[in-house]
Structure formats: structure tokens, C-alpha cells
A and B are shown apart, each in its own frame.
Chain A
Amino acid sequence: MHWLSKKKYKIGLMIPTLLVYSIFIMLPIVIAVRYSFTKYSGIGQAKFTGFKNYVRLFQDKIFWISLKNTMIMFVMAFVLLLTLSFLIALLLNKRLKAVDFSKALIFSPAIIAPIIVGIIWVYILDPNIGIINNLLDAVGADALKAKWIGGEKWSPYSIAIIYFWQQLGYLVTIFIAGLKMIPGDVLEAVKIDGASAVQEVRYVIIPMMRTTISTVAVLIITGVFKIFEIVQQTTGGGPNHLSETLVTYSYSMTFSSSDYGYGMSLATVTFLLSLMITAVYTAVTKEREG
């Protein structure tokens, strides 16, 4: 297979992938950015309007609400998912009783379609028919009842919790795979040297799992910016757009209001924001490694 390792052949073999990537990933992005500078209803000719959509976007209260909601979800999901999925992976990596059952249990939400996840949580969080408020009622804690979804305050937090529940098992699995990659003799040596469990994690496991942690972090960042079905199913972005995320608001503007140009400007900003946060995270972690 000597001939395949030459640079020009490598390039040749990459061409199909590059073509597919360019046509189905890059080109739609370019088209979306192009439409973001136009007024377009989805039919007929798009009319070039310069930066009008972007100016409107920064004056649009709902855009800021969507951004705030997305950021709430991002911070909650990032902190909770990164720390808890890592800690649970550490636990499940031990030889404990019922470890396999626990792994299956924790992973199970990840195999449920997001739309179904939304439906399940409606029955938990709905202010009228939801389990939480009914339980609070039953134990006489009426004062704690709230509009967990569909109100003006709690929806983004509730959606972050749902996303956390859905993603936890998947990320735990990635962490477990990362833990398995750490050579057993290294961990054994640490134990022989008398390190405590905390020291083992702090000075050996975390440094050796940097790549896995980075991968999980990037997955969380990009994932949060794609939360769609959960919002659609639990609140539909309502009441009155108060629980929209950037991506659901972009969808609503594009397809419900037929304002494709403005919808694409929202999509472009979402894309840039996600890219920026990922870039910052990557730069920060690389600097630390350096």
C-alpha cells in the first residue's frame, strides 16, 4: 500500500469527502449567510438589503431574550454536564455492584428521540398536569408550585435540565471510554506511591484525559446551540417567544413568519457565536496545555 501514502494520492482520496462536505455543509452555510443580507419570503426573488437584518436583530427584544435563554442553557448544561458526567464516569469505571445496569440506566435517555423526551417532561413539568406541581400539592407545599414550563421565568432552566438528563448518559460513555484509555500501570503506580483518590484524579486522570474533556466540552457547546425539539415540544418557544432559543427563534422567523432573510441572519449569528465559544474554549485549553 506504499502508493496510497503519497501526498498526492491522499489528496485524491480526500476529494470525494471534500466535495460532499463542501456541497452539503459549507455551501448551505454560504447560502444562508448570503440570504441574511436579503429580504426574502421563500418564493420569488430575494432583495438585497445590506445590513438591515443585522441592525434589526440588535434592536429586536426577542433576539436578546433568545440569546439570554441560550446562554442560561449553555452555562447550566456546561457546568452540570461536564462535571457530573465526569464524576459519574469515574464512579461507573469502578468495579461496583450493578455497574452495568447503572450504565444502561444512565444511557437510556440518550436513545430516546428528543421529541419523546419533550413529551415525557411535559408530564413532569406542566403547571397543571405535571407530576412536580401535583406532588407539591399532595404534600401541602403549594407555595413552591411554579410554572416550570410555559411561564415567564423558569422555562430556560427547565429546558437545560431536560437537556442535561438527555445528554448525561452519552457523555458519561465518552468519559468512560477515555478512562479506559489510561494505562492501568500508571494508575497502579499512583496507588503504590500513596496518592489519595482526589490526588489521583487531580494530577493523573484529568491531565491524561484532556483530549476527552475537550471533545466533551465541544460537544456540549455545539449541542446547546442546537437545542430545538425539546423547546418545540415543551413550550413551542412560548409564551410569546419568552422561552425561545436562538435556533428556535430562527426557525420561527424563517418558517412561521416567512421572513427568510431575517431568519438566516439569526442563524448566522448563532453559527458565529457557537464557533466563537468553541474557539475561545480551544484556545484557553491549548494555552493551559502549552
Chain B
Amino acid sequence: MRNRNFKRLLSAVMAGVMTLGILTGCSGGSEEAKTDESGATVIKFGIHVANPAEQEVVTYNIVEAFNKANEGKYKVEFEAADTETHSKNMKLKAEDGSLPQIFWIEGSEASEYSEAGVLLDLSEFLNENGNVKEALGGMEEAFVDDNGQFGLPYQCNVQGIFYNKELFDNAKVDYPTDETTYDEFIEMIGKLKESGVIPLAIGSKNSAYAMWEFNEFLARYGWEGNIDNILSGKDKFNNKELTACFEKLEGLKDAGSFPENMATIEYFDAKQLFNEGKAAMFGTGQWDCAEFDKNIGDKIGFWWGPKFTDTQSSQEIVMKVPSAPIGVSAKVADDEKLKEGVYEFLKFYYGEEAAKLSYEGSIFPATSYDGAAASDSQYAMNAMIEALANGWASPKAAPDLTVSSAVQEALYDGIFGVLQGTYKPAEALDKIDAALANSQ
């Protein structure tokens, strides 16, 4: 009898231990280590690339420089994952209260985090650090809502169309200028195509976000002036201005601007076509400058995109906008020492030394400091700086970052739908309107 009871007890204990083991084995465990072995306060920085040392070199260098300058006091450690995984992880962490102290936020999701109250209002930081606010020069205004300053720009994004001068020369096509019109652009595409190159490299597979050159189209058809009316229901995406804009996209498709297999290639494949001299133009931003310096060198040119003559909206617009923001977890406020460390890092990140490191890595920082500039061998970045010299205005934010995730996704889908001939312009715009209606 005693033996039987012992066996009962043993099996119950074993079952319990197994279950507990499995449950604990699958749980995430604590990641809130606050100091490292040297006693330095550890600050976690959630970043949207899997390997920051190679994929976000500038940010990696800034963090390294900060850690070196603050040895034994503060240490910033990356929590790295590719963009999609990072976004999913941050949402899960926001739900269970384990967000890293600082983290990159997908632009269209930033307001959702703010509304959920998981972000620290950084107004206090900016008020305490007037020099940072001055250096940001208004870039921070894109990330203010009723909850305050919910984020700060991770970088400054300069977006447009890079072109390969050599391929233009071969095709006997003049380089585009600020005054080049849409009709001239279409002509240019025809000649480039005749010369045997792909006029404009673009890939849509898993790359709907890679539509930076078309942000300029949207902006020049009055996006900034209309978007509030559209989002509040007073107007629709399917309006006269955006219809005209989407018709221009359709015109690009009709002119044969894109690779035939754009549906099965990704942004990276399209960039490869440009790097290899198989495509004459490629729409992107400053993050690709270093790669173009290496592959195309001084043959690189940069252009904002065509001017449109069928709209009253200003055409003197460039796309120098704040990138997606970085946010600080609201929980940081609970720990004075941690908050101090985070503020110290932000001060460094938006400081002059970090700005210089940014320029060295061909990235425009969100801040402006005198004396921080690109070197002569940074051809792609210098082409952008030259283009920026026209002094034209920029919108407060890139058009695609002014809408919620669902609408943003529909916007991307609509643009690529028209570029690929799947949708007619009105149909694409109706789909964006439907996405907006569903998201409200």
C-alpha cells in the first residue's frame, strides 16, 4: 500500500515538474538586467535590423562612441531583429510591459504606441536640452500629439531618384534637373529603354514600402494640404488631385519604365540592377549612399523627380523629412538612474559628435550642426546635398508616414497596383478609401 502511494506521489510530482519545466522553459525570462559586470547601467536599444554593425553602421558607431565615452557608467546594448520581427516583438513587449528602454518605431505605428500610453513624453528632455531642440530645427514636430513628444526622429530621410550618369550619356539623354517636367521624364524613359537599360528599377515582392520616389509625386499633388481633410472624412483619397497623381503613375507603367519581373523581385534585387548598371534610375534615400559610392562612384546623380503641370499645388517641394522615430519606454520614468542614462544617450545621439559620425557614414542626421559635412569621395551624398541647395521646402513628414498602418499598406498596394497594371487609378484610390473606412 505504501509502495503504491509512493508511486502515486512520484507520478504526480513528475507530471507537475514536467509541466512546470515546459512552461518555464518557454517563457521569456527577465531581460531587465540594469547593470553589467562593470557596474554600468545597461540601456537596451531595440533596432530594426538583425545586424546593426553591418546594416546600421552609423547607429552602431554612435552607440560604440557613447559606450566608450561612458565606460563603467552607461552601456547601450542593441536588441536587434529584422524590421518585421522587430515590429512584432515591440508590440508583444508593449503588451507585457517589457519594452527596451529605447526603440525604433515603424512610422505608421508610432501614434498607436503613443495612444496606448507606453511611450515617455520627451518634452522634458527637449526642454532641458535646448541645444538639441535647436539642432533638430523642427524635425521633432512630426512626433507630437496630445500625449506630448512621443518620439524623436531616428535620422533625417532624404528621398528621391538616383541616376547613373554613364547610362544617361550612353543613351544621349540630358540629366534631369529641378525643372524637368513629367512629359520630359516620359520622353527620357523612352530613350533610356531604347538604349537597352531598365529606365527605373523597382521591385514589389515583399517590398511595398520601397516607394520613396513616389512620396515626391504625392507631395507635389498637394498631399500635405489635403491629408487632414481626408483623414477626417471631409474629403476622399479618390479626389481630383490624387487621381491625376495616380494617372501619372499609370503613365510610367505604360511607358515601360520598370523591370518586367518587378512583381517577383524585391527592393534589394532592384537596387542590384542599379548597382550593376542594368538600370538607369533607382528611387531610394540616403541610407543607400555608401553602397552607390562603392558601385557607381562619381557617375551618380540625384534628382527629386518631375514637376507636374496639371495641378495648382506647389512643385517646389523636396523630400527631406524626419525618418521613423525612436521612442522611449514610459517605464523608464520609474527609475531615475535609468532615465538619466537614457537622457544622456539621447543627448549624445543628437549631439555634434554623432552628427559628424552620421555624415561620415553618408547618413543625414536629424540634427544640423555647422561644420558637419560629407567628404569629397561621398559622391552620392554630395549629389543629394547639391540637390538640396535649391532651398525648396520639405513637408513635415513623408506622405506615407502620415497615415495609419492599414491605410499605409493600402497606399502601397494601390501605388504598386497601378505600376503593375493590376488596378486603374480610381480603383486603387477607392481601395485606400476603403482601408481608411475600415480602420476607423
Please list the residues of chain A having a beta carbon within 8 angstroms of any beta carbon in chain B.
3, 9, 12-13, 15-16, 19-20, 23-24, 41-45, 56, 122, 126-129, 147, 149-152, 232, 234-236, 238-242, 252, 255-259, 262
> Within 8 Å CB of A128, what residues of B?
259-261, 264
CA distance A23 to B18 in the complex (A): 14
Given contacts A15-B19, A256-B409, 10 further A-B contacts (CB under 8 A): A9-B11, A16-B15, A43-B94, A150-B263, A239-B204, A239-B417, A252-B409, A255-B88, A258-B404, A262-B438
Contact A19 B116 (CB under 8 A): no
Interface residues of B in 199-257 (CB under 8 A from A): 204-208
CB closest residue in chain A, given B88: A255
Q: Please, how many angstroms separate the alpha-carbon atoms of A150 and B204 in the complex? A: 10
- Once the chains are docked, how many angstroms separate the CA of A208 from the CA of B413? 52
Most buried by A among B109, B205, B264: B264
- Within the complex, the shortest CB–CB distance from A277 to chain B, in Å, comes to 29
Chain B residues near A20 (CB, 8 Å)? 19, 22
Do most interface residues of chain A lie in helix, strand or loop, or is the interface mixed? loop
Q: Do A126 and B11 form a contact, CB below 8 Å, given A242-B422, A257-B405? A: no
Chain A: minimal CB distance from B134 (Å): 32
**Of B12, B18, B116, B205, which contacts A236 at CB under 8 A?**
B205
Query: Looking at the complex, which one of B11, B84, B413 makes contact with A12 (CB distance below 8 Å)?
Result: B11
Tell whether, in the assembled complex, residue B116 and residue A126 are in contact, meaning their CB atoms are under 8 Å apart.
Answer: no
Interface: B60 (CB within 8 A): no
A128→B262 CA distance, assembly (Å): 10
- Tell me whether B396 is interfacial, beta carbon within 8 Å: no
Do A44 and B15 touch across chains, with their CB atoms under 8 A apart?
no
From known contacts A13-B15, A234-B264, infer whether A240 and B406 are also in contact, taking CB-CB under 8 Å. Answer: no
Establish whether residues B22 and A12, one from each chain, have CB atoms under 8 Å apart when the complex forms: no
Q: Which of B149-163 contact A (CB under 8 A)?
A: none
- With beta carbons under 8 angstroms apart, the residue of A235, A238, A240 that contacts B423 is A240
A152–B405 CB distance below 8 A: no
Contact of A3 among B7, B12, B23 (CB under 8 A): B7
Chain A residue with the shortest CB-CB distance to B422: A240
- A238 in contact with B87 given A3-B7, A20-B19, A129-B261 (CB within 8 Å): no
- Given A12-B15, A43-B118, A255-B88, answer yes or no on A239-B405 (Cβ-Cβ < 8 Å): no
B130-153: CB near A (< 8 Å → 1, else 0) gives 000000000000000000000000
The total of chain B residues at the interface (CB under 8 A) is 50
Identify which of B22, B112, B438 contacts A41 (C-beta below 8 A): B112
B→A interface (CB under 8 Å): 4, 7-8, 11-12, 15, 18-19, 22-23, 26, 84, 87-88, 91, 94-95, 108-109, 112-113, 115-118, 204-208, 259-261, 263-264, 266, 404-406, 409-410, 413, 416-417, 420, 422-423, 435, 438-439
B439 and A239 contact, CB distance less than 8 A: no
Q: Is the CB of B438 within 8 A of A56?
A: yes
A87, B72: Cα distance in complex, Å = 69
- B residues near A236, Cβ cutoff 8 Å: 204-207, 266
Minimum Cβ distance to chain A for residue B1 (Å): 12
Cβ contact of A258, chosen from B8, B18, B206, B406, cutoff 8 A: B406
Of A43, A149, A255, A259, the most chain B CB neighbours within 10 A belong to: A43
Q: What is the chain A residue whose CB lies nearest that of B22? A: A20
Give A151 to B11 CA distance when docked, in angstroms.
59
Q: In the complex, are the beta carbons of A44 and B263 less than 8 A apart?
A: no
Q: Name the CB-closest residue of A to B259.
A: A128
Q: Is the CB of B406 within 8 A of A259?
A: yes
Distance of B267 from chain A, by nearest CB (Å): 11
